[in-house]
Amino acid sequence: MTAPPPPPAAGVVQLPDGRLLLAGAAAALHRWLDDQLLAMARAAGAQECRFPASIDRVTLARAGYFEAFPHGATALCSPPFRGAEALPGQLAAPPDPLDAAPPGQLLAGSVPHPSEPAPAHQLEPAPSGSATPPPYLLNPAVCYHAYALHAGRRLAEPVLLTARQSCFREADREAGRRFAGDASVARTTDTASPAGGGGANPDGSPARLWEFTMREVVFLGPPAWVREQRAAWSARIEAWTAGLGLSGRLVAATDPFFGAPGRGRRLLQQLKDLKLELQLDVGGGGGGEGPVAAASFNLHEDFFGTRFGIACDGAPAHSGCAAFGLERWTLAWLARHGERAAAAVTDEVSGAAGVSGTAGAAGTAGTAGTGTAG
């Protein structure tokens, strides 16, 4: 006889504007899951980075973000301080290169490039009533900061780094409102998964959030090395998922996650197997929602290496990433094991020296969680 699913965790509150509040055991579980991912990244030799919560429009334009997702990012509309407008004791900000650009146009050469000025990529349309788009936006993903960090560089050796940051996506804000029953929001198939622009469950669920926490591992280097990293991370996380007692499915994704969208790009991406998603069931209080992409493992080929002028072995560097939506992992774990199990596991491992990133350590957590839930 199959046991009924555990009730929704009391420490999880879905807010109507696409945010999630976690408290108690749910918040501790969220932190514990990220600690395990960070331990895995460190064990693999990744350098830990801390990036800002916002990103400049120039960087997103160079990355081709607005070509793929014209209205996907959340703009910061408060104007930056300039000259005499600066607060007492605050240094005036340097002139923004976008100030001198025509509306919707990126100034050539405003981003470092080793050999030629930046192409004039089309920027996201300005908000209604605004002549110039705001220069800063909230992060739609973590990895764009990594490419900007290495822009114009020739890599002497491959780069492996990891960072965690809050990210924001407008498509998921709308999906969350649809799930909450807001009839004013049109249904759409424009979905977003941890590190790209698409994923399972297009019609919204508690896992479809405007604001969410992303852990990414980014790899930059020769093509073969990047492919090896993607393969290693997908295998590592599949084993970790099983050790957590979760049922995950690794599938090829067809939604374009960089560059201009189109049927040709979708087919090419599928043929080259550029994006894999690990889909997990996040429950949703018995509403029968389908699985969502809790992780993705991506190959960008030389797209970002070319856009940011990052060279390796005399050619544009290849890049890839493994990305994890921590709220989705938390919800999936709670849906499978329940809040009491989360409290038991986080209490058991709190204060333990050195959380291992191996499947064996994850297996201990999965076993403990399953036992408590039972």
Q: What fold, for 22-51+139-373?
A: BirA Bifunctional Protein; domain 2 (3.30.930)
Residue range 261-285: mean pLDDT, rounded: 69
Provide CB contacts within 8 A for 228, sequence distance 6+. none
How sure is the predictor about 334, in pLDDT bands with cuts at 50, 70 and 90?
A: very high
Q: Is the pLDDT of residue 164 over 50?
A: yes
pLDDT category of residue 235 using cuts at 50, 70 and 90: very high
pLDDT (tens digit, 9 = 90+) per residue, 99-154? 443 433 333 333 333 333 344 333 445 555 556 788 999 999 999 999 999 999 99
Sign of the CA dihedral running 342, 348, 351, 354: negative
Buried b (16+ CB within 10 A) or exposed e, 3-28: eeebebbebbebeeebbbebeebbbb
Residue 250, strand partner residues:
278
Helix, strand or coil, per DSSP, at residue 228 = helix
The dihedral region occupied by 351, where left means phi > 0, alpha psi between -120 and 50, and beta the remainder, is: left
Cite the beta strand spans of the chain per DSSP E.
12-14, 20-22, 47-48, 54-56, 75-76, 136-138, 154-155, 159-168, 211-221, 248-252, 275-280, 292-301, 311-312, 315-316, 318-325
Selected residue with higher pLDDT from 199 and 257: 257
d(CA 207, CA 281): 10
Predicted confidence at residue 94, as pLDDT, reads: 41
Domain layout of the chain by residue ranges: 22-51+139-373
Between 243 and 282, whose confidence is greater?
243
Q: What would the pLDDT profile of 74-93 be if each residue is shown by its tens digit? A: 998 765 544 434 444 433 44
Of residues 341 and 243, the one with the higher pLDDT is 243
- Predicted confidence (pLDDT) at residue 262 exceeds the cutoff of 90: no
3-class DSSP state for residue 246? coil
